[in-house]
Amino acid sequence: MHSSVHQTETLLFSILLQLIVMIAAARAGNRILRRFGQPGVVGEILAGLLLGPSLFGHFFPGLSLALFGAKASAPITVISQIGLVLLMFQIGMDFEFGHMASPRNRNGMIGIAAASVCLPFALGFGIGEFSAPHLAPSIDALTYSLFLGVGLAITAVPILGRILREFDLTRTEIGVVAISAAALNDVTGWVLLAGISAYASAHFSAGAVGWQVAGILALALFSWFVLRRLIRWLLRKMPVVDGHVPPNLLTVVVCLTFAMGICTYKLGIFTIFGGFLAGLLFHHDKKFVEAWRAQIGKFVLVFFLPVFFTYTGLRTDVLGLTSASDWQWLGLILAAAILGKIVPVYAAGRLSGFSHQESTILGSLMNTRALMELIVLNIGFDLGFIPQDVFTMLVIMAVATTVMTGPLLRFLLPKAGYVIPAGVEA
């Protein structure tokens, strides 16, 4: 008994120490990067990467091993995944269906979403087929190529939303179209990822996929026709009062979110997607959304998100790209990712009636990847779709395409007649 208690205390000590370092480093990174005109979350991502073998683990290997171990521990992994479920709930909760009332915005959103998925996916798939013998000889070439396509096609809704708020674009036409197209892009990306996972499974069969699709449709119909009405009733019975979510309501929301995660896990489309579906069911109640953001949302961002970023950073070794060919492959992936987003989105924007400047801004916004890309990359890495070096290259690509967005907007917005707000925090 004494030994068991001692082991628990030792584990708790280790996890608490890791959490202190992760959370403090993320907040410091947030503050520093905001001073350089970047969204704070970019600093949090970089802080997570620097805590891994790319910096801390390289220069202080003994200290890094003592603090984090050879790899992320099971408790840290679980904490990061719970955080992602809650974060996806917030993303679903923030989705605004009413943005698409204007035909131009609606058509633009559909065209831009399609353009932002199709060409990057095709480019990623082509690079995958070309690079598979060199970078992933032990992985099924088709699975690897398909995943690389998804990796290039993703756009990050939560980070894009924060950037739009920073530049006061949330209520503008280009902001509305960009965030809606990004949401459609993300849903498409998750569906593609689920399909690739099913294909790569040793148990793949047309019948199994048919049952999976039927289960997803059943969950969607049950959520829309049953859960949605129950939640409306629940919010009437336990309304938000003075901007606070009642404890009983909070209990139901958390349990429902986790239960939806279990459902989507059983359907083979990842636990975190259940959080997104649960969030969609609450998005209509503005009082609840505001209260959640103020009461719980900040804690999720300050506590859980840094754990996920460090979890990713511990698996990313930028210094592991040692050969000239590694950096050439990285350059090719970066070029394909950037041009594959900006060029087709620009063309789709022009075809939808947006000006040259507006279409360029839309392309720059849709090039933002960051958080959603990191989530997808971790899934692909865990499933064995991509090797370590390619995982590192794609993480660098996700960070680089996000870091680009702020400076591009500061350059492009004045040319389109927009005023950049002073001192607005990300």
* Out of 122-126, 266-270, 314-318, 374-378, least confident range: 266-270
**Is pLDDT of 32 > 90?**
yes
3-state secondary structure (DSSP) of residue 136: coil
For helices 247-266 and 228-237, what crossing angle results, to 10°? 170
Q: Which band of pLDDT confidence, cut at 50, 70 and 90, is reported for residue 212?
A: confident
- The alpha-carbon radius of gyration of the chain (Å, integer) is 21
pLDDT band at 424; cut points 50, 70, 90:
very low
User: What is the H or E stretch that residue 254 is in?
Assistant: helix 247-266
Residue among 155, 157, 172 at smallest CA distance from 115: 155
C-alpha distances in Å from residue 399, one per residue of 46, 122, 150, 186, 338: 8, 21, 16, 17, 12
Taking the C-alpha atoms of residue 75 and residue 31, their distance in angstroms, rounded to an integer, is 27
Which structure tokens are listed for 146?
A: 């398909």
Look-up: residue for tokens 């009461």? 295
| Nearest alpha carbon to residue 52 among 74, 36, 67, 39 | 67
Q: What's the average model confidence in pLDDT over 366-370?
A: 88
Comparing C-alpha atoms, which of 276, 250, 249, 282 is closest to residue 263? 276
Residue 186's closest CA among 84, 102, 86, 92?
92
Q: Phi and psi for 343 in degrees, rounded to 5?
A: -65, -55
In the chain, the amino acid numbered 392 is T
pLDDT tens string 78-119: 999 898 899 889 877 876 655 555 666 777 788 999 999 999
The model's pLDDT over 159-201, given as tens digits with 9 standing for 90+, comes to: 787 788 778 887 788 888 888 888 788 778 877 887 787 777 6
| Distance, C-alpha 141 to centroid of its chain | 25
Which residues, 6 or more positions from 331, have their beta carbon under 8 angstroms from its beta carbon?
none
- Please state, in angstroms and rounded to a whole number, the distance separating the CA atoms of residues 308 and 290: 24
Closest to 88 measured CA to CA, from 236, 230, 259, 278: 278
Largest distance between two CA atoms of the chain: 72
- Distance (Å, whole) CA 59 – CA 214: 52
Residue 47 contacts residue 25 (beta carbons within 8 Å) = yes
Inform me whether the pLDDT recorded for 204 exceeds 70: no
> According to the model, what pLDDT value does residue 203 have?
54
Mean pLDDT, residues 122-127: 96
**CA pair distance 146, 153, nearest whole angstrom:** 11
Three-state DSSP class for 241?
strand
- Name, in order, each residue with C-beta under 8 angstroms of 259's C-beta and a sequence gap of 6 or more: 274
What is the rounded distance in angstroms from the CA atom of residue 31 to the CA atom of residue 237? 41
How many Cβ atoms from other residues are within 10 Å of residue 321's Cβ? 17
Q: Which of 60-74, 111-125, 205-219 comes out lowest in average pLDDT?
A: 205-219
* Residue 154 pLDDT: 86
Res 101: pLDDT: 58
The secondary structure of residue 227, as a DSSP letter, is: I
pLDDT of residue 426 exceeding 50: no
Question: How does pLDDT run across 310-340, given as a tens digit for each residue?
Answer: 999 998 998 888 889 999 999 999 999 999 9
Residues 260 and 263: their CA atoms lie apart, in Å, by: 5
Token pair of 337 as six digits? 């990712």
Token digits of residue 426: 């990300």
